[in-house]
Amino acid sequence: MVFHVGLSDGISATALVLAVYSTMRTIRFSERQDKLNQLLIAKEQQQTSELKQADISAEFTKVDRAHHRLRVSNRGKAIAENVRLDLPRGNDHLPILNIDCLFPVLVLEPDQYVDLRAVRGMNSTPVLTIRFTWDDPSAKDREKTITIST
């Protein structure tokens, strides 16, 4: 049995090789495209969850020699409701003057803040621990504990 390879057989074999190569490239591209789509979906979900979260933070600023200001702010992108401030034990060394008048804060908009006056005495320690609890569209009773220098 003798096989004769002609021009048409060579063209057919070349076409078959190109078709297999093209199919392989298409499959690899499709796999990469699926991975990219999954990453984009994850990024969109993260951004959506960030839009539903408030981020409560605090910082001390010096007003004058003995008076300080504790600024409580919402750095998140959602409204914080029922913001409560708690000073755990051992933090009573720094009297915060108007804490009972202002807290709990019913609504704290994004980029909004509340200023509390504080008087630093001779026996004040340089560190204050504050625990915040609040509600936002992502969850109820979210907590954050902050340790700041006074």
**CATH number, position 84:** 2.60.40.10
Split the chain (150 residues) into runs of 10 and give each run's mean pLDDT. Answer: 79 93 95 94 84 85 79 89 81 64 84 83 73 88 84
Distance CA(96)–CA(116), nearest Å, equals 7
Distance CA(59)–CA(87), nearest Å, equals 14
Are residues 69 and 42 located together in one domain of the fold?
no
φ and ψ of 42, to 5 deg: -60, -40
Are residues 145 and 97 located together in one domain of the fold?
yes
Look at residue 95 in the predicted model and tell me its pLDDT. Answer: 65
CB atoms within 10 A of CB 54: 25
Distance CA(115)–CA(123), nearest Å, equals 23
Look at residue 68 in the predicted model and tell me its pLDDT. Answer: 80
Look at residue 25 in the predicted model and tell me its pLDDT. Answer: 95
Are residues 122 and 64 located together in one domain of the fold?
yes
Total number of domains constituting the chain: 2
Range of the domain at 65: 56-149
Are residues 142 and 75 located together in one domain of the fold?
yes
Look at residue 67 in the predicted model and tell me its pLDDT. Answer: 75
Q: Pick the last residue of a domain from 51, 69, 92.
A: 51
Are residues 74 and 36 located together in one domain of the fold?
no
Look at residue 18 in the predicted model and tell me its pLDDT. Answer: 95
Contact present, 76 and 109 (Cβ < 8 Å): no
Are residues 91 and 116 located together in one domain of the fold?
yes
Look at residue 35 in the predicted model and tell me its pLDDT. Answer: 94
Contact present, 94 and 112 (Cβ < 8 Å): no
Contact present, 83 and 103 (Cβ < 8 Å): yes
Distance CA(15)–CA(36), nearest Å, equals 31
